[in-house]
């Protein structure tokens, strides 16, 4: 018996989830069928088992279904078990056994889904005799991200007026960036100037924010100026003086 693990193996970096289909590749009579699906839990998070939508021809079987163990699922393991020792059951070619919906936790590298040994060792039989079991592992390749981030919002140049200490406290809106993979409303890193709410000296200060995406594309740059003007006129301070002549 050949078990296929199928999905779109060219996932986009912006994808957040996908569905894995587990099917029987060939038409075959079986009395028992058991195997496990294993994945890297640091890359993929189990969401749920998706019903096949097909009528279940195994309702009269001794046992059929998913070995649902939350502890094993957290480790990246789930088992399938079918057994009917009274009557061998015909599995149709390309029959969908079940599907698993996964959430993508890390799309920075490829990952592999396979038929492992835990919790159920791969095995199939017909009327007491073992049947060869095969399951090709599936490698998921996320498309490489070569697209640089962009500036979503950058403040305009700002003019403020100095106080008696020739300084001004300036508040400005947060620059925002966007990226095809990282998403929207991303905050960058201040690389020049002062943060919002700081005291600025008289004159012009260049504020520069940068953002690099998780694939090291960029940086996208937001740059604007804060100019502090001195509008307070000078004051004359005079003192009376008394002069004594010889």
* pLDDT confidence tier of residue 51, bands split at 50, 70 and 90: low
Q: What is the pLDDT of residues 134-190, one digit of tens each?
A: 998 999 887 778 889 999 999 999 999 999 899 999 999 999 999 988 889 999 999
Mean pLDDT, residues 216-244 = 88
Fill in the DSSP letter of residue 144.
P
pLDDT band at 236 (very low <50, low <70, confident <90, very high): confident
Q: Is the dihedral of CA 68, 69, 74, 78 positive or negative?
A: negative
Higher-scoring residue by pLDDT: 42, 50: 42
Q: What percent of the chain has pLDDT over 70?
A: 91
Instruction: Look at the pTM and tell me if it is higher than 0.85.
Output: no
Measured CA distances, 152 to 211, 212, 213, 223 (Å): 11, 13, 14, 13
> Which residues touch 234 (CB under 8 Å, ≥6 apart)?
none
Please give the mean pLDDT across all residues of the chain. Answer: 87
223 vs 147, more confident: 223
**Residue 100 is encoded by which pair of tokens?**
């698993």
Give the pLDDT of residue 55.
44
Indicate whether 53 pLDDT > 80.
no
Q: Are 194 and 203 in contact (CB under 8 A)?
A: no
pLDDT digits (tens, 9 = 90+) for 103-135: 988 877 789 999 988 888 899 999 889 999 999
* Whether the predicted pLDDT of 224 surpasses 90: yes
Q: What is the pLDDT of residues 56-90, one digit of tens each?
A: 444 444 456 777 688 889 999 999 888 887 778 88
């Amino acid at each position: 018996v050949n078990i296929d693990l199928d999905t779109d193996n060219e996932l986009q970096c912006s994808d957040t989830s996908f569905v894995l289909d587990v099917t029987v590749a060939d038409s075959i009579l079986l009395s028992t069928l058991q195997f496990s699906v294993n994945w890297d839990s640091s890359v993929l998070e189990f969401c749920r088992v998706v019903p096949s939508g097909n009528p279940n021809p195994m309702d009269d079987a001794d046992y059929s279904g998913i070995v649902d163990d939350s502890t094993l699922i957290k480790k990246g393991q789930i088992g399938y078990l079918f057994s009917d020792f009274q009557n061998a059951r015909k599995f149709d070619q390309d029959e969908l056994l079940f599907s698993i919906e996964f959430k993508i936790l890390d799309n920075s590298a490829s990952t592999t889904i396979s038929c492992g040994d835990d919790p159920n060792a791969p095995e199939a039989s017909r009327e007491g005799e073992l049947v060869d079991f095969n399951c090709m592992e599936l490698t998921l390749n996320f498309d490489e991200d070569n697209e640089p981030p962009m500036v979503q919002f950058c403040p305009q140049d700002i003019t403020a007026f100095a106080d008696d200490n020739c300084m001004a406290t300036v508040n400005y809106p947060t620059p925002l960036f966007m990226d095809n993979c990282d998403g929207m409303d991303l905050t960058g890193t201040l690389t020049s100037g002062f943060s919002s709410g700081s005291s600025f000296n008289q004159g012009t200060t260049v504020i520069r924010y940068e953002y690099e995406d998780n694939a090291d594309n960029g940086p996208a740059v937001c740059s604007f100026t804060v100019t502090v003007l001195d509008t307070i006129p000078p004051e004359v301070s005079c003192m009376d003086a008394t002069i004594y002549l010889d």
